Chain A
Amino acid sequence: MKREELLKKIDLYIEGELSGKELEEFNRLVEKCPECREEIQKYRNLLKLTHAVARYKPAPPPNLHLKIMKKIEEERFREKSSPLLHFLVPALTLALILAIIAIPSFLNLTEESSVPASSHRENRNITLTENKDTLQNMQGLTSPSPAPDEASLKLASEEFNDFINTIQNQRKKLENKITYIYPITSSASWKKLAEYLRLSDEPVKIAIRPIIKNRNVDYVDLISHLDEVRNTNPYVEIEDASTSTRVAGNPGAGVVLQISVLK
């Protein structure tokens, strides 16, 4: 083999990738060629440098695995439910608007008969559910003791901000029990919920009632957020009823949160 041809394999020689006849030829060349030895040394130094750079590895982001799995879960949810959502979002938004307009008037008419004169507390229940696949199944399940003047509303996940705004804007107008069923699709939604609760300036009672503990749901994350709220806002009371109200056998079901706003 010609010298030039052999020198093309100089890095393979250094990396120990040459064998047999090629290696013998290379060794013979090196013996009688001082320039080749100089070239080999340069290559050795180059590889030392690049290998030293390789030792410096970019530190992976914290909780990378968890973040990826959350994205996957969101993707899985989107894939499963998008056709339903396309139908539900406009329908439920309309239902919410109508209810907000209609309920205060309705409550004014029924207030005298439904609230005992001695009662100083109003109880408004807001129930949140993890998975919108369960929306249809959950009607009735989420409201433990429906009052005669209770209205049930279902909201889709994209409406969460509206949901929060609605509560904030309408809370003074709401005079009695209202049950919301709301699908929480990601921990981002929980964080928003937690943020809302953290800022709440009136007593809030939350009952966590998962229909089934779905392993895709980062339940620990949810509880830790709510615990954080409980620790920072004395108005918030959290009752974890998750273990006693779990219902097996419904793979579409997720975590149900019941929030009672008390004053």
Chain B
Amino acid sequence: MDGELFELTINRFNDPDFELVIAARKGNEDAFSELVQKYSHQVFSLSMRILNDYGEAEDLTQEVFIKVFKKINSFKGKSKFSTWLYQITLNAAINRLNYLKKRRHYDSGFINETSVRGEDEDYGIEVSSNERTSEEDYIGKETYHKIIEEIYALPEEFRVVIIFRDLEEKSYQEIAEILKLPEGTVKSRIHRAREVLKKKLEPYLKDGEK
């Protein structure tokens, strides 16, 4: 127990969720609820980016937090809680995706528009209210779907890093921690993934074309 506490103590000063995690481990339901409140949208977002299916992503989000609830006592504080949560989400989402692929649920691997619920009719997904697209950020519907299509067509190891870096906007260090890879490996993997995307999206990369 002392050893365990020591491990947890290491992260007291660099994990903003440390106190909540400790309280949740002691059975404090409000603390666990606060963690869910804080991270449920992020877990859903990552699930959605990987599975590309609204219903599946919602189910997976619930599944992830049940796992976290069951396993929180085994969380040793070697990484940040958020990193641990992303690892669980990523593993669960990849497993689910592979299962669905086996069942031919994803015929083309392309976006399942009908399963996406949101406010933007053109895209089938919502633009966060505080992140409305500027003129610069605006892309046409066809371009949007083409980019998504090419990201989903990437091999899994490339797709995951692109989702984390370019869509979820995580730092290289965070991605390295989540994937348990050296940061250099992550950087090189992202570069290779972007090289593939660059070739696939060549017609869209000329100045003025969007």
- Interface positions of A (Cβ within 8 A of B): 8-12, 17, 41-43, 45-61, 64-65, 67-69, 71-72, 75-76, 215-216
Contact = CB atoms under 8 A, between A and B. Distances in A.
B144 A72 contact: no
Residue of A9, A12, A46, A75 most packed against chain B (CB within 10 A): A46
B152 to A, nearest CB: 12
A61 B61 CA distance: 10
B10 interface: no
A46 to B, nearest CB: 5
Contacts of A52: 133, 137-139, 144
The 8 A-B residue pairs with the shortest CB-CB distance in the complex, in nearest-first order: A59-B126, A50-B166, A58-B48, A59-B118, A45-B205, A52-B137, A52-B139, A60-B41
7 contacts: A49-B205, A56-B144, A58-B54, A59-B118, A60-B41, A60-B44, A67-B58
Contacts of B5: none
A25 to B, nearest CB: 17
Contacts of A47: 166, 194
B18 interface: no
A68 B40 contact: yes
B187 A75 contact: no
Interface stretch (B30-38, B76-84, B92-100): B30-38
Interface in B134-175: 136-139, 143-144, 147-148, 151, 162, 166-169, 172
B107 interface: no
Nearest to A45: B205
B198 A46 contact: yes
Contact of B40 (A48, A57, A65, A76): A65
Contact of A69 (B33, B44, B61, B131): B33
Contacts of A59: 117-119, 125-126
B70 interface: yes
Contacts of B65: 68, 71-72
Interface of B: 29, 32-33, 36-37, 40-41, 44-45, 48-49, 54, 57-58, 61-62, 65-66, 69-70, 116-120, 123, 125-128, 131-133, 136-139, 143-144, 147-148, 151, 162, 166-169, 172, 187-188, 190-191, 194, 197-198, 201, 204-207, 210
Nearest to B63: A71
A52 B204 CA distance: 13
A107 B207 CA distance: 88
A56 B147 contact: no
B143 A49 contact: yes
B126 A56 contact: yes
Contact of A60 (B40, B62, B139): B40
Contacts of A43: 194, 198
A54 B187 CA distance: 19
A53 B149 CA distance: 12
Contacts of A10: 191
Contacts of B169: 51, 54
B36 A46 contact: no
Which of the listed residues A10, A50, A56 has the most CB atoms from chain B within 10 Å of its own CB? A56
Nearest to A73: B29
A75 B32 CA distance: 14
Contacts of B57: 58
A192 B143 CA distance: 47
A53 B144 contact: yes
B204 A61 contact: no
Contact of A65 (B36, B54, B123): B36
B36 A48 contact: no
A69 B36 contact: yes
B142 to A, nearest CB: 12
A54 B167 contact: yes
A11 B190 contact: yes
Given A49-B210, A65-B36, A58 B125 contact: yes
B207 A41 contact: yes
A9 B172 CA distance: 13
A53 B66 contact: no
